[in-house]
Structure 1
Amino acid sequence: MARLNLKAIEERVAPLAGREGYERDFIFDLLLAYGKPQGNVTRLRNGSLNVAIDPVTEVAQKNVVYFKETTSDPLEVIEDLKSTPAVVRFSTRFVIVTDYTELVAHDIKTNETIGFPIREIDQHFTFFLPWAGMEKAQYVAESHADVKAAERMGKLFDELLHANPGIFDDAQGRHSLNIFFTRLLFCFFAEDTGIFEDNQFTNAVGSQTQSDGSDLAEFLTDLFKALDTADPADKPTHLAGFPYVNGRLFTVTDEQVVPRFTKQAREELIASGKLIWRDINPDIFGSMFQAIVTPGKRSDLGQHYTSVPNILKTIEPLFLDDLKAELNEAQDSERRLIRLLDRIAAIKVFDPACGSGNFLVIAYKELRKLEHAILERLAELSPSHQMLWADSRINIENFYGIEIDDFAVEVAILSLWIAKHQMNREFREKFRVEIPLIPLKETGQIKAGNATRMDWNAVCPNDGDAEIYLIGNPPYVGAKVQTKEQKTDFGHVFERRPYSKNLDYIALWFVKGADYIEGSRAELAFVTTNSVAQGEHVALMFPTIFAKGIEIGFAYTSFRWENNAKRNAGVTVVVVGLRVIRPGEKFIYTGDLQIRAHNINGYLTDGDNVFITKRTKPLSAIPEMSFGSMPNDNGGLVLSDSEREQLISSHPEATRYMKRFLGASEFISGAERFALWLDAGNVTAALNVPEIARRVECVRTHRLASKRESTKKLASVAHRFGEVRYKPTDSIIVPSVSSERRDYIPIGYLGPDTVISNAAFAIYDAEPWLFALLTSRMHMAWTRAVGGQLETRLRYSNTIVYNNFPVPPLSEATKEKLTVAALRVLDVREYHCEQTLAELYDPDKMPQDLRDAHAEIDALVDSIYSKKPYETDEQRLSDLFALYERMTAEEAAKAPAKKTRRTAK
């Protein structure tokens, strides 16, 4: 079923507004309006899809909705409902409560709540767009408070650097300032959340220090010492009211200097304290405050709103979905619920590139939510389980990390403490039991260092039987931009094993992760740029991993990662989950679809573990593809449109010595260039034109000046291109690089008077049926999977993409159908000739008739590979890889026979 667009959904929701009376059918009509399948809704209506808690007043569908009718205040009901075991069990996206006059809805993922008269549902239809696969740009409503806090602290940071010249310039000084800021962050949070008394820290600064800031450093030094002192009698009288925290966070040493304050710096500190820190999100605030103290990162503030949904893409299929399923199955068994509680209490989570701890914080909070749901259900089953409520069994000491930046290490630990306190507050609200955060008993398991050179077992011991989950977002860094130190890290990871210098830096985490989980229960899931699952990188990395008896348990195909800094906000990523080979389901997630897979290969497709490597000749019965012709002329043989006009105006006969000259850029943008095309038959006459003779002499001079002997030899044929691959036939031009936004690469079909440059690929003696094949969605799926990327753009390759593209034998009748479809696309392009191909293939501007013409090709080419229509590109790739395996096997089987025949001759 095609996905609905915004306008279509708006039109479908509109009839639900302004009704005279509302009843239970409203929720089913609402789901249908967002494109939920009729059969699915029918099963939900009759209770066979998911049995609701109260089938008369409640409707529940896993991952979709928990709907409840009420005669009470909907807002009060939803506050009680949204964190109940039932809602946790159903992993619902939206909780909706209504008395059929007012409607209140809560988005579990974004933590947003909305309320309105139910008659005005059409005015609020965008709130439920995730049902139609359209996620919101901002997921965490309260994150703006974090931005304000970070910006305010940034001003304080700058003022302190200005007030303390030279003190914090070296590594030790900067570390000291970083520690100071983690202490401030804790104090601000503590005085807003009951750890300290309300505003205790800010009030003390404001009332016990001079307005010019001259004594504030001394005051803070004494305060930090007091926070590290257990006995109030041992503290100064004016600080005796501050509690004991512990010696991990507030130990004052000679190396840790409290900076000198100015009047402005003191005012900035007090202004920061006046902000409301109670609901600050530890999931995102760590990254934001790290940006404060990292040069060049300050502009990144405010780019962290979608961290929670993206992180859940990693941890849900890795372990949360399984735990929630077990909770659902254990609802009526006290013994199974207690066993599940024991299980989650023993789980270890390890992020070997943890940054400021975002992944660890989300994992911690989700496990605490599960714990609360279990305890609530146990209380419903038997009051005797009250003894389980004395404390949380989810221990911060079970959350491990490695991070190379020392400030990020401290912030990660602080983020976990803050997350713990927030979950303790939820615990208190549910069970009326106070779990004090201080004194801090847990010191955290976050270690500072280079994860590629550390022994991960020394950080998080893996005895083989422990339930350990590795998660994270390791650093990306392509092979060509790695530092010298990063290059040397490869030797530490691979040791004596061979490896390619073309591996991305993140490959080190996958390889070390595979080493770590080998032969154990541990599993991992990393977010990574999609380049690791494309092009030659697949064959460079995954054989090492698969050879260890490890498989891909689940994968998210390409999606936009919008949790990074501004300059990285557009990165396209995948999630790859690894585990030891074992029985059990495997899933590929693409868009909002979950697809069950037999095996997930390195291209994140359902298929055997094949690896596409370079081929010099096509696997299939298609013409050869090569680079176009290379001038090697220093501009002498190539003319712009204006240079051509100028030459022809003075020497009209020069026209016969020119051909149109196109590379990928000119072809897509509609620019014009021309080449002097001289050969033995016309060069003598052409040199009679003075401008042509001058240009040829410039080429000869340029080639003679080269340091390469092969180029110097070309000086004797200065009238000719350095590499000539042109043929006077129809040709197909394939850009070597194309925008990843396009649904189709703008491939061209050219006449015999056009020379294709080496900035594109060329197929000569080309027929239109091949054009149709290459412009199909089938070929685009293959290109995206095996072609790789240049930055974020699609990168085409003749040796990887084209030569390996598996094409079944084509009958003449099929070629004729493909030809007709190809000519239709070319005709529509010609009709829109006033637009460039860049405009025509912009997905936001593509004319409908061109889109329809391509759809005809897509359907025709799909029918060549399968009798059933494809729903996803993953299905196309599964068939392509299977055909590739068959064809290469047949090729290998024939090879020895050919050799024998040659020998017999």
Structure 2
Amino acid sequence: MQSVVETFIRRWQGQEGGQERANYALFLTELCDLLGLPHAQPAAASTEANDYVFERVVREPNRDGAPTRRRIDLYKRDCFVLEAKQSRIFGDKSLRGAAGSAENMLPFPGMEPQTRGRRGAGRAWDVLMRNARAQAEDYVRLLPPDHEPPPFLLVCDVGHCIEIYANFRRDGKAYDIFPDRRTYRIYLEDLRDEAVRKRLVSIWSDPLSLDPARHAAKVTREIATRIAKVSQALEKAGHPTEDVAMFLMRVLFTMFAEDVDLLPRNSFKRLLKDCADRPEIFPGMMEELWRAMDEGGFSATIRHPVRRFNGEFFRNRRALPLRREEIGELAAAADHDWKDVEPAIFGTFLEQALNPGERRRLGAHYTPRAYVERLVIATVIEPLRLEWAGIRATADRQKSEGRERQAIASVQAFHDRLCNLRILDPACGTANFLYVSLELMKTLESDVLEALTDLGGQEALHGLESHTVDPHQFLGLEVNPRAAAIAELVLWIGHLQLHFRNNGGIPSEPILKAFHNIRCMDAVLVSPEDPRRPDWPEADYIVGNPPFIGGKDLRARLGQPYAQALWAAHPHMNESADFVMYWWDRSAELLTRKGSSLKRFGFVTTNSISQVFQRRVMERYLGAKSPLSLVMAIPDHPWTKVTRDSAAVRIAMTVAEAGKLEGQLMQVVSEDGVATDTPVILFRETSGRINADLTTGVDVTAAEGLKGNTGICSPGVKLHGSGFIVTRKEAEHLGRGRHPGLEKHIRNYRNGRDLTNRPRDVMAIDLFGCTQDAVRRLYPEVYQHLLLTVKPERDRNNRATYRDNWWIFGEPRRELRPALAGLSRFVATVETAKHRVFQFLDADVLPDNMLVVIATADPADLGILSSRWHTIWASAQGGTLEDRPRYSKSRCFDPFPFPVLSNTDRQAIGLLGEALDAHRKRVLADHPHLTLTGLYNVLDLIVSGTHPDRLERRDRRVFEDGLLLILKELHDELDTAVAAAYGWPADLAHTDILAHLLALNKERTREEKRGIVRWVRPDYQIERFGSETEKARQIEADLGPALGIAARGSLPPFPSRNDAAQTALVIDALIAAGGAVDAAGIAGRFRQGQRVRPAVASVLASLYRMGLVSTADMGRTFAFRRAA
């Protein structure tokens, strides 16, 4: 084999100097022969079959709709995109600059071939390789929709090297150096190494086998399982849990230190072996070793000098006694290769191993690294990568103009900034977010150091040995002392792993620094006795996963004193907001504070963030005078690993930045492998201004509640005691029918399931308005029943009103009762349901809290609410619970602008509303197997185009018995009638409906400020909520939209001497343009106008050379490559 390798190296070494384009296919074909890999296939006429070919065609859409054909040098589906070193304009592989007149075209100096040095000597600033990398990333974005982004990106310099970049997230975004800075560039002579050849074979044939996460989780879980057994044994022996945890963390770090040669190889393993035979010597030997590790010096235990570790881990050197069995478990854990341990999940596993309550779930319930990465990249890494792209282009421009020292200084300044950034997780747990941030910033640092080396050789790195990204920049707040200690351990293990992977060599002493970057404290409350918000350390980015506790559960989960103090410390927060929103609110305040250092924050929250109480927190900042914007949002995303022993948890992710900006809304379209350590989630991305309800487009959250809708909508009663519900037989036993007046207090009762499925035919004891004494005197059987079934539960309730008024519903809805008085029926809808259906309920029905009640008996109101005009509005406004839409009074009903009905409109819509309600009730009564949900499930199929003959047998029965075509026809006619009442076309698209309704809401709001209120039920509302004038007469008013035009601000100046600022402004202008633009167009955006066009042209030239912009017209105009 070695002779074949040597022949290949001799044949290709030195084949440099401008003929790479002619030779790359032959070079790669012969490389495949060397590695025993199949050749690329002949390209077929249809690109769909071209899964492993040279010159694979991809198409880039242009603004005029005609796509540009581009070609990938070598493509292997699900494996890699390979681009050979080159300088090209679209569709042209030749080395060239732009042609044309100087007036219209940009010059491209520095594009000529350069000679390359070997590793560590004379390496050059090779813009062609950097351009090829950016080009390859661009091609990934242009792959067909059914092609997943490949995990690898290869850049080939024929006769010299292949650079390897990887992205195992498969999201098609930035690819990073792989496997590390020292070995990502494979030179020809490296092919002599069998491990290098195997790596290339894997990239070609089994690329995912190189994903560290594929086996890291397994190794990490095995180590944690061993530690859990030792922890359990020590706890059974009577040792306090916290002492056990700290002891085992010292043991774990000692194992790691041995594996990375910070302790002599196998010294700790030998210690464990010796102690297994004599367990009684274990504590003394460990304490002596830890003394040496703390102070530095000779250790008698391992008979060798020990480096000084210091830090916090070994100041407490106490070792706990272990039996032979536990020492054996530690020895088994020490036998694992700690280079395979994944710090991003190690902390979670260790917390589970050391926590008796969590131990049974060890490894079954945790967050896969890929999910953590998704938020960290969007919050921290993407803005830094964009900034780094601008600095690279600035340095290239400076170098091309002969200003090499300035080029080096620009890159060094960015490196210095990178090493001084502060990342805060204010609910850091065991530091999985902080560690992933650390690793990804170290990866970016590697790219920066490579650029420095290319610009100035090793001399450019002088003085940077100790100036590096390290744990002191990663700040955490954590209320749990054990988790805080684990967080520090995780960061140091991760940092040292990265040090040895990227740099090699022993770090300077002390090995561990006492940075005190993890603080053990509550992030949102000083204490229940001191109800203030604590100060957070200053940070440039905030990212994390605060605790998930629903607003309604705060008092029960955290205790009355804590909840009251929390609300007192945050008086601007609604008490119903989820716990996580206190972190969101504080971060938003810091982000929008004048002079703040904070650039972005990103949080994992419950996926109920788009619901009303959470949404109000976001709305306050999105619509503020100094606003923030959501630059990335995922409304619904899996979170923890799904197994038989752990339920699926769904979350949302939001990333915010100050200012009015567009963002990326990412909606999950497929989930694969969610029960594995390497899940794959695919998204559909939409760009635009992201609203508080995590949608783009029309911002319906800007709608305001209308006075005209006041007082007639409310949730039903909330019992707070199951003893209130009785059967009809139980009601008779309690005296219904015997005690006069009791029939008014034991009433038919309906909840959400009763409406969507089939009624349970139960009743509820409603004693609203009755005193305790009156109930005992008039209805003694009822009193005793509640005394037995409700009072014990109420006595344990934290709220005094619930305890003291135990015979009355917890929430009897005092404001709803007068609105229902005198009505023969009312409208109701299920708060959380798959289908938004409104129906009439008889007045004797008591509605449950999971029903939303509209106090009207008018069939025209039912018709309007049942039309698509309202259901589309409600869907956009209401948010979801899991995947089911919710109907919120304050967002769905209160701001909804009802049409002003003529008598003709009211009659037409009313007849259809009555017919719709009657039809559904009739088919449900005639066919006991039918349900409301079942009817609308099949109606959805019909509306979506499914022919009745293609329905499954069960659905066909629903179609026939439910008379679904009549149901569809009634809805269609109702939609048309309501459209006519509004005066709008009946076929408006969803977004247009929302836009029309929002505009009408704004107009109604303006009217109400002028005293014109369009009441939904004037006979009831005016008397209670109207002005004195309105009580005398109802005002009629014409509708008319009001338009406003924002004044254009003054143009910003273009900086004259700051190269980096010039580059950043040109990049901003390119992104804002959203397409191709020329130098003159960009210059026109600045105060100096065309006077700065030459400087803009110079920046564009550097951006092109670095592969950050593309041109489709020979250099006249340029577009920013978002994949770069």
Q: If the length of structure 2 is used for normalisation, what is the TM-score?
A: 0.57
Bigger drift between 438-447 and 760-769 goes to 760-769
Deviation at 1:44, TM superposition (A): 7.4
Structure 2 CA distance for aligned equivalents of residues 795 and 145 of structure 1: 43
| 1:163-213 Cα distance to aligned partner (Å, 9 max, x none) | 3x2x41xxxxx4332221211121222233333344431222112x25352
User: Which residue does 1:424 correspond to in 2?
Assistant: 499
Please point out which of 461, 484, 487 is paired with 1:409: 484
Secondary structure of the structure 2 residue equivalent to 1:259? coil
User: Is the alpha carbon distance of 1:578 and 1:47 closer, same or farther for their aligned partners in structure 2, counting shifts above 3 Å?
Assistant: same
Aligned mates of 1:551, 1:640 — CA distance in 2: 56
Structure 1 residues 531, 152: CA separation in 2 closer, same or farther (over 3 Å shift)? same
Which range moved further: 396-405 or 762-771? Answer: 762-771
Alignment pair present for 1:529 and 2:596: no
2:226 counterpart SS class: helix
Distance of 2:440 and 2:69 partners within structure 1: 30
On the 8 A contact 2:621/2:628 being kept in 1, the answer is: no
Counterpart contact for 2:43–2:50, Cα < 8 Å: no
Aligned equivalents of 2:764 and 2:584: distance in 1? 51
Give the corresponding residue for 1:186.
Answer: 253
2:469 counterpart SS class:
coil
Going from structure 1 to structure 2, the CA distance change for 1:68 and 1:449 (only over 3 Å counts) comes to closer
Task: State how far apart, in whole Å, the 1-side matches of 2:942 and 2:424 are.
Answer: 52
Contact 1:368-1:394 at 8 Å conserved across structures: yes
Give 2:309's aligned residue: 246
Query: Structure 1 residues 787, 771: closer, same or farther in 2, change over 3 A?
Result: farther
Q: Distance in 2 between matches of 1:77 and 1:832?
A: 74
Partner AA of 2:340 in structure 1: D
User: Per-residue deviation at 1:376?
Assistant: 2.8
Mapping 1:287-686, distance limit 5 Å: 287-303=348-364, 306-331=367-392, 333-334=395-396, 335=407, 336-380=410-454, 383=457, 387=461, 390=465, 393-428=468-503, 433-434=504-505, 436=507, 439-444=510-515, 445-453=517-525, 460-461=537-538, 468-477=540-549, 478=551, 479-481=554-556, 482-490=558-566, 493-494=569-570, 498-517=572-591, 518-519=593-594, 520-522=596-598, 523-539=600-616, 543=620, 549-563=626-640, 570-580=648-658, 582=659, 584-591=661-668, 592-598=683-689, 600-601=691-692, 618=709, 625=713, 639=727, 662-673=750-761
2: CA distance, partners of 1:712 / 1:181: 54
1:279 to 340, 359, 362: 340
Q: Take 1:224 and 1:711, find their aligned partners in 2: how far apart are those partners?
A: 61
Q: Give yes or no for contact 2:638–2:648 (8 Å, CA) kept in 1.
A: yes
Superposed, 1:58-73 pairs within 5 Å as 59-60=136-137, 61=139, 65=149
The aligned amino acid for 2:505 is E
Q: Which amino acid aligns with 1:521?
A: S
- Say which of 223, 229, 236 aligns to 1:155: 229
Q: Give me the whole-angstrom Cα distance separating, in 1, the residues matched to 2:341 and 2:927.
A: 53
- Identical pairs, percent: 17
Contact preservation (8 Å) 2:424, 2:543:
yes
User: Residue in 1 aligned with 2:284?
Assistant: 218
Structure 2: segments with no counterpart, 5+ residues: 1-37, 76-80, 87-92, 94-131, 142-147, 179-183, 185-198, 397-406, 527-531, 669-682, 733-745, 766-777, 792-800, 810-815, 946-963, 1015-1025, 1034-1124
C-alpha separation in 2, matches of 1:631 and 1:263:
58
- For 1:415 and 1:828, the matched residues in 2 are separated by 63
> What residue number does 2:893 align with?
802
Alignment of structure 1 residues 686-705 onto 2, 5 Å: none
Q: Superposed, which structure 2 residues align to 1:15-30 within 5 Å?
A: 21-23=41-43
* Aligned partners of 2:867 and 2:975 also within 8 Å: no
Give the whole-Å Cα distance in 2 for the aligned partners of 1:38 and 1:772.
Answer: 47
Q: Which amino acid aligns with 2:502?
A: F
Matched, 1:82 2:145: no
1:751-793 residue CA offsets vs partner (Å, 9 max, x unmatched): 879946445344554649946854859736745744676x997
Q: Distance in 2 between matches of 1:113 and 1:804?
A: 61
Letter in 1 for 2:601: L
How far off is 1:159 after superposition?
A: 0.7
Describe the shift of the 1:770–1:257 C-alpha distance in structure 2 as closer, same or farther (beyond 3 A): same
Letter in 2 for 1:573: I
> Which residue identity does 2:751 align to in structure 1?
G
The change in CA–CA distance for 1:516 and 1:190 in structure 2 (over 3 A counts) is same
Distance 1:456 1:155 in 2: 40
Structure 1 pair 387–526 and aligned structure 2 pair: CA distance change class (3 A)? same
Cα pair 1:612 1:786 within 8 Å, conserved: no
Listed one character per residue, the Cα deviations across residues 435-475 of structure 1 (whole Å, up to 9, x for unaligned) are: 5376425324111122224699976346xxxxx11111112
User: Does the 8 A contact of 2:633 with 2:654 survive in 1?
Assistant: yes
CA 1:440 to 1:501, structure 2 compared with 1: closer, same or farther past 3 Å?
same
Q: Which has the higher contact order (CA 8 A, sep 6+)?
A: 2
Cα contact 2:633–2:653 (8 A) shared by 1: yes
1:543 alignment partner AA: R
| C-alpha deviation, 1:69, in angstroms | 9.9
Question: Deviation of residue 553 (structure 1)?
Answer: 3.6
Distance 1:880 1:241 in 2: 79
> Which residue pairs with 1:14 in the alignment?
none
CA distance in 1, matches of 2:565, 2:783: 47
C-alpha displacement of 1:840: 7.0
Residues 26-63 of structure 1 deviation map (CA, whole Å, 9 limit, x = unaligned): 9866799xxx9976599574269999853779843366
Aligned residue for 1:186, secondary structure, equals helix
Question: Structure 1 271/637 Cα, relative in aligned 2: closer, same or farther at 3 Å?
Answer: closer
Corresponding pairs, count: 781
What's the CA shift for 1:565? 10
The 3-state SS of whatever aligns with 1:528 is strand
User: Which of 177, 180, 187 is equivalent to 2:244?
Assistant: 177
Residue pair 2:475, 2:518 contacting (<8 A) in 1 also: yes
Q: What residue identity is the alignment partner of 1:560?
A: H
SS of residue paired to 1:223: helix
Cα pair 2:546 2:605 within 8 Å, conserved: yes
For 2:995 and 2:58, the matched residues in 1 are separated by: 25
Contact 1:630 1:723 (C-alpha < 8 Å) held by counterparts: no
AA at the equivalent of 1:240: R
Alpha-carbon shift at residue 349 of structure 1 (Å): 0.4
Task: Measure, in 2, the Cα distance between the counterparts of 1:230 and 1:630.
Answer: 66
SS in 2 for 1:81: strand
- Cα deviation for residue 365 of structure 1 reads 0.7
Distance (whole Å) between structure 2 residues aligned to residue 24 and residue 66 of structure 1: 21
Cα separation, 1, equivalents of 2:44 and 2:455: 30
Structure 2 residue aligned with 1:779: 871
Supply the distance in 2 between the matched residues of 1:52 and 1:385 (Cα, whole angstroms).
32
- Looking at CA atoms only, which structure, 1 or 2, has the larger radius of gyration? 2
Give the partner amino acid of 2:511. Answer: L
CA apart distance, 1:744:
2.8
How far apart in 2 are the matches of 1:636 and 1:562?
38
Give 2:196's aligned residue. none
| Partner deviation per Cα, 1:289-321 (whole Å, 9 max, x = no partner) | 112222411233224664433223333232321
Correspondence for 1:145 among 190, 198, 219: 219
Give the residue type in structure 2 aligned to 1:204: L
How far does residue 629 in structure 1 lie from its aligned partner after superposition?
9.1
* SS of residue in 2 equivalent to 1:142: helix
